[in-house]
Amino acid sequence: MNRNYAIMHNVSLRDYNTLKINCRAQKMLFPYNEEGIKEVINDFKGKNSNIVVIGKGANILFSKEFYGEDYLFINLKLMDQINYCNERVICGAGATLSQLSWYTLENNIKGFEFLEDIPGTVGGAIIMNAGTYEDNISQLIKKIKYYDIDKDVIIEETVSIDDFNRRKSKWTDINAIVIAAEFVVKKGDYLESLDELLEIKKRRYLKQPRNYPNAGSVFKRPLVDGKEWMVWKLINDSGLRGIKKNGAMISEKHTGFIINTGDATYDDIFNLISRIIDTVYKNFGVILELEWRII
């Protein structure tokens, strides 16, 4: 019988995390379609399986050198189709935010410009409610299709604003694999969108250390008694700019980022994270919460 997925064995995860940490997984599964997702789960999910759906790994910190039998890595990069038909944009969870942003722009649809420069897939962005200071992906989504692993069913539902929160969503907390999403269509002007997209990209490249591997902001922006704190400022004012632990470094350009200057390991990066949390708490009494997922 033909399978609806491909398998890779002994996979280097270096290309599946933007921090470029070296580690390996015993296997990674690539479903071709939603049937393939169900098959992967039913064929491989053992009692002790930790299921890890990996997008671009742009918000992930790998903590192990080897992920063996008890880990099931699933990657949806073969499910990246985007369609615009009958005033509906439907996009597979494996498409990148950049693909979606350029696709909508080229079809004279506006509102997706801010997504272009956020590394990651549509699935990962829905889980993280990815966005900028002003805009989040949640404001663009009408419906989500996902696989409920525990119930073994595929569900399609209309989303509400209550399904999303600061860098998390309803699907973050349930055992689900996001398969696809339908997006809001607002007619726009191709050239205006292009200007906006390039302007956002330029601003971000000027501010962020994009010439080193990183995974974006390490911490969520804290809100304490109604007051929002700027993470980069808390770290900067704690005197931690440019601090290093072997190959890991708190970026001098943007102190909210930790960069890999060559051969950083999980331990190096975690050492800096702990140091930041302790020092900022000591100096300002603010508890920083990690935005990254540690796997």
Ligand X SMILES: Cc1cc2nc3c(=O)[nH]c(=O)nc-3n(C[C@H](O)[C@H](O)[C@H](O)COP(=O)(O)OP(=O)(O)OC[C@H]3O[C@@H](n4cnc5c(N)ncnc54)[C@H](O)[C@@H]3O)c2cc1C
Give the nearer residue to ligand X in terms of CB position, either 169 or 265: 169
Give the nearer residue to ligand X in terms of CB position, either 34 or 268: 34
Q: Please state the closest distance from residue 128 (CB atom) to ligand X, in A.
A: 4
Q: Please choose, from the candidates 251, 243, 291, the residue with its C-alpha nearest in 3D space to the C-alpha of residue 271.
A: 243
Give the nearer residue to ligand X in terms of CB position, either 225 or 259: 259
Buried b (16+ CB within 10 A) or exposed e, 140-164: bbeebbbbebeeeebeeeebeeebb
Give the nearer residue to ligand X in terms of CB position, either 168 or 279: 168
Give the nearer residue to ligand X in terms of CB position, either 76 or 288: 76
Strand-pairing partners, residue 228, are 223
Q: Is the dihedral of CA 133, 137, 142, 147 positive or negative?
A: negative
Q: Please state the closest distance from residue 17 (CB atom) to ligand X, in A.
A: 8
User: Token pair for residue 211?
Assistant: 């010439």
Q: Please state the closest distance from residue 239 (CB atom) to ligand X, in A.
A: 24
Q: Please state the closest distance from residue 258 (CB atom) to ligand X, in A.
A: 11
Q: Is 217 marked active-site?
A: yes
Give the nearer residue to ligand X in terms of CB position, either 128 or 243: 128
Neighbours of 256 (CB within 10 A): 23
Q: Are strands 71-74 and 50-53 parallel, antiparallel or unpaired?
A: parallel
Cβ-closest position to ligand X: 55
Strand-pairing partners, residue 143, are 158, 182
Q: Please state the closest distance from residue 295 (CB atom) to ligand X, in A.
A: 7
Q: Is the dihedral of CA 123, 126, 127, 129 positive or negative?
A: positive
Contact 256, 231 (CB under 8 A): yes
User: Token pair for residue 200?
Assistant: 């956002």
Give the separation between CA 178 and CA 201, rounded to whole angstroms.
27
Give the residues lining the site for ligand X (CB under 6 A): 18, 52-60, 76, 93, 118-121, 123-125, 127-128, 130-132, 177-178, 208, 210, 214-216, 293
Q: Is 167 marked active-site?
A: yes
Give the separation between CA 256 and CA 269, rounded to whole angstroms.
13
Q: Please state the closest distance from residue 1 (CB atom) to ligand X, in A.
A: 25
Q: What is the DSSP string of 40-67?
A: HHHHH--TT-EEEE-SS-TTEE---SEE
Q: Is 24 marked active-site?
A: no
The residue from 169, 217, 238, 251 that is catalytic is: 217
Give the separation between CA 288 and CA 65, rounded to whole angstroms.
26
The residue from 39, 167, 193, 238 that is catalytic is: 167
Active site positions, annotated:
167, 217, 291
